[in-house]
Chains A and B, each alone.
Chain A
Amino acid sequence: MKQWQTIFIDEWRLWRRSYLAVSALVLFTLLLLATSIFTGLRMTEEQHAREHQQQEAEETFLSQPDRHPHRMVHYGHYAFRTPPPLAMVDPGVDAVTGQSIFLEGHRQNSAMFADERAAANTGGFGSLTPAKVYQLLIPLLLIAIGHGVVVRERESHTLTQLLSQGVSGTQIVAGKWVALASVALISLLPLVIASLSASTAGDSLSISLALVATYALYLLVWVSLIVLISTTTQTRGVALGLLVLFWITTAMITPRIGVASANATHPAPGKIETELRMYADKRELGDGHNASDPAFEAFRTNVLAQYNVDTIEELPVNFRGMVAQKNEADLTELMNQYAEEKMMQELHQSNHLRSFGWLSPTLATASASQSLASTGLQTHHRFLRETETLRLNFVQGLNQVHIDKLSYSDDINRNNDEESSRRVRVSSENWKVLEDFEFAPDQAAERWQAARYPLLMLLIWFVAFTVSGMYCAARIKP
């Protein structure tokens, strides 16, 4: 047997015989199982709930009675973002961005929380998800079990005994590293189960495995750091202190500094201020409900010329509908500008925060994890864009019905009496302009693409700690 194997086996013998290590491992495994099951159940429930709500919203829309098409534009519709299966490992921004949107004419609403409970869950504390447990708590477990691996032997002078047997520092430290790495890998078991069940629920197997590999790499970064510190310090107290300090700095403080720095570097414009600016811009585009708004004069001239007639009444189509359609197109272009600006700014912030992964392996991991699980900001942005397309399509579809199926004269006289208002109703068959909506998770290739950069950071952390560990191991002193 190689010397490192003998040392590896002994490390486990020590852990087996000391209740602290074993009970810590058992405790954390139970915690992980509990959060995995709990988060898994919650996200599956959420997924079904949102799929159900989506279907219900569509049915409600389609079952509306015959009426004026523009009333349907205002009646509106809901779109829901169903979470991907891997959200049961890492729900990502799900808890903070809102998962449903009310879609209606002339407006782009922001995402809301699908239900009260989802909002209550956030209540200031992020709930404990498997991702958070792996990012924050398992490193603490590894520190608790592993900070003494080498320094304990130095303190009790058994290191002298070991070295004087002709065992090289490299062999000793390698044995310790493998022992602690095996603890890390055991702790990944609940994640493996969760990821595999996500892949049976529809997420790609390679991505599920990549997520497991990401956390494996992250924990190995910690293993290498812990062994490095344990190799180079003189007392357990100092080793423990340094490691906890590193944990507090990189897992607790750096992310918050990162957020603050992102906010300072790419400040979000005031919400009210922006909205006022947008309302002013919108007002200049005219009121689409009022065909005689001076804002549409040029448009009217154009249309009349196009159809080669002199008055609106002579047009073969409903001019009010045309104005509504044109106005919606103009408004949408304007609102999209604001929306894209906002998303761009959020993306800048998110990228800025991500670059703090060079200072915190925890941040790098969180970023890679969300990208792989398809629960990150970019996925949410795609949801916003897709729901906007859905919104614009059904609104313009209804406007087209307005143009084609209602005569202009009926339309302007719709408020004269009961009979006139009945005449401007169109068949509910027309509500079928609404498309089905089903939000799909990102493609595997896109997820890879987004996770590559933070994974590179993680790899460099790993190489840096491991290489310095090897260097110090070869020069170990009792």
Chain B
Amino acid sequence: MNNALEANSLSINRSGKPVLNDISFTVPAGEIYALLGGNGAGKSTTLLTFLGFLEAASGSVSVQGEQVNKNVKKAREAIAYLPEAATLYGHMSAYENLRYFLDLANAKASDSELNEALDSVALQTAARSQHMVTYSKGMRQKTAIALAILRDSPILLLDEPTSGLDPLAIDEFNRLARKLADQGRTILMVTHDVYGACQVADRIGLLRRGKLVGAFDRTEGEIDTETVHRAFAERAST
């Protein structure tokens, strides 16, 4: 079994306080893993650990079978990351932002590929060459998602990708995520959208106060909206 992402008995402290406590899960290549949990449960922390921004107090994380702390650069190159507060530069247009970050990531993209990606997140054509200070939260989110897609990396870590999106755009995003996974990309995403997660995710993890309190696997037939919703309400509420 080829695991794109792996957390092994991972514990993390932030500012001296335990934030993640003995967490283990795996995301096989080409699957979507949705991490559900209340505010402050440790979801973002989990993603940051895969990028090597935080050091494990114990346990470890691996990207494509290699421990992250052994080769941070390689892990980051394999991952496209959508931060929680999706932020690009206000003094640049969407085009300029995408070009800039793709340049830095050494990823090539033609103009039509840029437009294709922005089409896939449904960002208005007229807005694309305006400075991003003028964008709404949803528009910024869409651009950042487009960037993650364009990176063309095998793994996507998406922190609340649907926050700020209107219901239509959320549906749109879920379809897009499924499509990417079907193309062979691995997605680990944090979300509050239980309904959407149940639609697209292959696996779902419930996180509460730094502990994994529930795991659901689609192949085991464990994922249906009602079950997950109830489990979330009972176990994951803070």
Contact = CB atoms under 8 A, between A and B. Distances in A.
B88 A161 contact: yes
A166 B105 contact: yes
Nearest to B147: A161
A160 B53 contact: yes
Interface of A: 1, 3, 6-7, 10, 13-14, 17-18, 156-158, 160-168, 477-478
B100 interface: yes
A164 B100 contact: no
B73 A168 contact: yes
B79 A10 contact: no
A478 B53 contact: yes
B104 A3 contact: yes
Contact of B105 (A1, A157, A165): A165
Contacts of B77: 166
B85 interface: yes
* Consensus secondary structure, chain A interface: helix
Contact of A164 (B79, B89, B106): B79
| A-B complex: 8 closest residue pairs judged by Cβ atoms | A164-B81, A165-B105, A166-B76, A166-B77, A157-B87, A165-B104, A17-B91, A160-B83
13 contacts: A3-B104, A7-B104, A14-B91, A156-B87, A157-B85, A161-B87, A161-B101, A164-B81, A165-B101, A165-B104, A166-B77, A166-B106, A478-B53
Contacts of A166: 73, 76-77, 104-106
Contacts of A162: 101, 104
Contacts of B104: 3, 6-7, 162, 165-167
A286 B73 CA distance: 88
A174 to B, nearest CB: 13
B51 interface: yes
Nearest to A167: B104
Nearest to B85: A157
Given A13-B91, A157-B87, A163 B73 contact: no
Interface string B69-87: 0000100110111010101
A159 to B, nearest CB: 9
B92 interface: yes
Given A13-B92, A161-B87, 13 more contacts: A6-B104, A13-B91, A17-B91, A156-B87, A161-B101, A162-B101, A162-B104, A164-B51, A165-B105, A165-B151, A166-B77, A167-B105, A478-B53
Nearest to B89: A158
B103 interface: yes
B61 to A, nearest CB: 15
B157 to A, nearest CB: 8
Contacts of B81: 160-161, 164
Contacts of A10: 89, 100
Contacts of A3: 104
B76 A6 contact: no
A5 to B, nearest CB: 10
A6 B99 CA distance: 11
A332 B131 CA distance: 78
Contacts of A160: 53, 81, 83
Contacts of B53: 160, 163, 477-478
Nearest to B78: A166
Contacts of B106: 166
Interface in B15-70: 51, 53
B107 to A, nearest CB: 8
Contacts of B83: 157, 160-161, 164
A3 B131 CA distance: 23
A246 to B, nearest CB: 27
Nearest to B144: A161
A18 B90 CA distance: 11
Nearest to B100: A10
Contacts of B80: 164
Contacts of A18: 91
Interface centre among A7, A158, A165, A477 (most CB of B within 10 A): A165
B151 to A, nearest CB: 8
A8 to B, nearest CB: 12
A233 to B, nearest CB: 17
Interface string B98-128: 0011011110000000000000000000000
